[in-house]
Amino acid sequence: MNRAFLLAFCLVAGLADARESVTARQYLVAAAHPLAVDAGLEILAKGGSALDAAIAVQMVLGLVEPESSGIGGGAFLLYWSEKERALRSYDGHHIGTLCILDREPRHPSQDQIAALVDLAAIVEGEIKLKSPATIERVNRRSVTLSDGSELPADLVVLATGYGPMNDWAAQLISPEVAERVGKCWGLGSDTKNDPGPWEGELRNMWKPTQQPGLWFHGGNLMQSRHYSLTLALQLKARMEGLPTPVYGLAPVHHLR
């Protein structure tokens, strides 16, 4: 009987800074980007509900960090209605993605939902985890790990975590090219993971970079489907010899 294992490898970028606890008497908004927090606070200050604020936060996140938050992604939501004294949950895991794939706004069937990876299967042990370890060698019917163990497998899925795209450029091309391009993603909002100055456009994504002939394409399903056309048109124009002036090619402020 064939056996398949899911091998999970986590790349830890660094430890989070120690921070003091925060309390609030009326409301509190927490999000991955300060501009999204500001949007949620503004909605609440104008009398909106927590759900109104959550929608505003998510819409801004779709703009300022589209590589992580987008209309084509999924969502989980717990909502407490004080008026009804009831707690409701919404499971939108990959719902938006399935609707895009089907090209029509409908709820996916039970068969489609069952086809998705079920996190409960990991919790219940149906899908095995092996961590921490890395792959030393891929064999014909197995993989040998860095701890010396060998796992039989007929399918290997590598989930290596997130890393800077120009780090991949350094590995695949050269460190010199990666530093010529600089950071990818981010708007220059002058936060910990998105240093300034403000650029107003995503760094180096789906547009010409400081390295001629090098383009970056990434993001979630919605972004990939949308911006792949934009990128393809830019490449096609160059192949056909059409004038392709570049507007606002930003200087590189941040290396790898």
149-207: pLDDT as tens digits? 998 888 776 655 567 888 888 988 999 999 999 988 888 888 777 888 888 788 898 99
Cis-peptide into 197, omega within 30 deg: yes
Residue 42 has what pLDDT? Answer: 94
Domain membership of residue 222 (yes or no) is yes
Domain membership of residue 199 (yes or no) is yes
Domain boundary among 87, 102, 119: 119
DSSP state of 250: P
For residue 94, give the nearest of 107, 84, 82 by alpha carbon. 107
Residue 195 has what pLDDT? Answer: 85
- Domain tally for the chain? 2
Q: Which residues span the domain enclosing 90?
A: 71-119
Residue 161 has what pLDDT? Answer: 56
Residue 67 has what pLDDT? Answer: 62
Domain membership of residue 64 (yes or no) is no
Pick out the chain residues at pLDDT < 70: 1-19, 67-74, 91-124, 157-162, 256
Domain membership of residue 98 (yes or no) is yes
Domain membership of residue 218 (yes or no) is yes
What is the gyration radius of the CA atoms in the chain, in angstroms?
A: 22
Residue 57 has what pLDDT? Answer: 92
Q: Which residues pair with 109 in a beta bridge?
A: none
CA distance 208 to 231: 9
For residue 223, give the nearest of 71, 24, 112, 58 by alpha carbon. 71
Residue 17 has what pLDDT? Answer: 44
DSSP-derived secondary structure for 141-177: SEEEETTS-EEE-S---EE-----HHHHHHHHT-HHH
